[in-house]
């Protein structure tokens, strides 16, 4: 830290103290921990003089679930899944503070739209079924699950899916009428309109967002090497939408 950086760092802390504003110092993860650690250590040393919390996330990879390099796109940036893991931790930490909830506030409606679109995009990029299901549950989406062509409903599969299984010819899903046909592959209707069909083998999953009244992801998952199921690489999966 240069002399000028330290001067203004201390000024920021003093200003926050004078105005009784809680200060939280966070360093997001990078792959350059070793060469940057002396800088982090000095920041923590200065912050400790003022009893300010410092979170060096490179030192918390086990807590965040970032033990492998699979969550980075380069030395300085996380990929989508890595960013979501850090975001989930950050949200939990900030929940301890008395912050105003702006959900439903018309002045922040663009934030809600952006958040919803980001959630939809993130879901379509998840490849591990356990992570996909966790995201569906976190976002409060409705869920349709059905075996695709030549796919048996074995006890092992039932045990893996557990409470998530939803195989039905017709039913209510978050207030919408959903119909699933399994006579000729998978055909899915939403409120009487056909939205998807496929003859792919594997397990079919569809996530429904009641906030927008539509399905936001369709995917086929299959077991790989007797492990938990992964999304199939099928570029023409959305045969009909």
For the stretch 53-91, pLDDT in tens is 999 998 898 898 887 777 888 878 888 778 888 988 998
**Where along the chain do its domains lie?**
3-94, 106-231
Q: What is the pLDDT of residue 151?
A: 64
Q: What is the pLDDT of residue 150?
A: 59
pLDDT at 168 over 60: no
Q: What is the pLDDT of residue 41?
A: 92
Interior/surface letters 211-237, b for 16+ CB within 10 angstroms, e for the rest: eeeebbbbbbbebeeeeebbbbeeeeb
pLDDT at 24 over 80: yes
Left (φ > 0), alpha (ψ -120 to 50) or beta: where does 197 sit?
Answer: beta
pLDDT at 239 over 50: no
Find out whether 84 and 121 touch, Cβ atoms under 8 Å: no
pLDDT tens across 221-236, in order?
Answer: 887 766 678 888 653 4
SS3 130: helix
Q: Which of 80-84, 93-97, 175-179 bottoms out in mean pLDDT, i.e. has the lowest?
A: 80-84
Cβ neighbours around 161 below 10 Å, total: 19
Q: List the strands of the sheet with 142-147, edge to edge.
A: 142-147, 203-209, 214-222, 230-231
Left (φ > 0), alpha (ψ -120 to 50) or beta: where does 65 sit?
Answer: left
**Percent of the chain whose predicted confidence (pLDDT) is above 70:** 85
Q: What is the DSSP-derived secondary structure letter of residue 163?
A: G
Among 6-20, 88-102, 169-183, the range of highest mean pLDDT: 6-20
pLDDT band at 181 (very low <50, low <70, confident <90, very high): confident
């Amino acid at each position: 830290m240069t002399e000028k950086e330290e001067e203004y760092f201390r000024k920021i802390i003093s200003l926050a103290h004078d105005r009784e504003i809680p200060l939280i110092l966070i360093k997001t993860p990078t792959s350059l921990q070793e060469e940057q650690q002396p800088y982090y250590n000095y920041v923590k040393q200065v912050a400790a003089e003022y009893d300010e919390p410092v979170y060096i996330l490179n030192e918390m990879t086990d807590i965040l679930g970032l033990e492998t390099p699979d969550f980075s796109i380069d030395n300085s940036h996380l990929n989508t899944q890595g960013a979501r893991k850090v975001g989930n931790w950050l949200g939990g930490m900030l929940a301890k503070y008395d912050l105003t909830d702006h959900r439903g506030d018309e002045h922040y409606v663009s934030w809600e739209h952006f958040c919803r679109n980001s959630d939809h995009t993130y879901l379509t990029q998840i490849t591990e079924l356990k992570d996909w299901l966790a995201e569906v549950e976190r976002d409060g989406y409705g869920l349709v699950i059905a075996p695709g062509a030549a796919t048996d409903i074995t006890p092992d599969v039932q045990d893996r899916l557990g409470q998530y299984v939803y195989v039905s010819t017709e039913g209510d899903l978050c207030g919408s009428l959903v119909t699933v046909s399994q006579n000729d592959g998978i055909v899915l209707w939403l409120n009487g309109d056909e939205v998807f069909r496929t003859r792919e083998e594997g397990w079919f999953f569809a996530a429904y967002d009641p906030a927008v009244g539509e399905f936001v992801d369709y995917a086929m998952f299959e077991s790989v090497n007797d492990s938990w199921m992964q999304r199939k690489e099928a570029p023409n999966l959305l045969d009909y939408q």
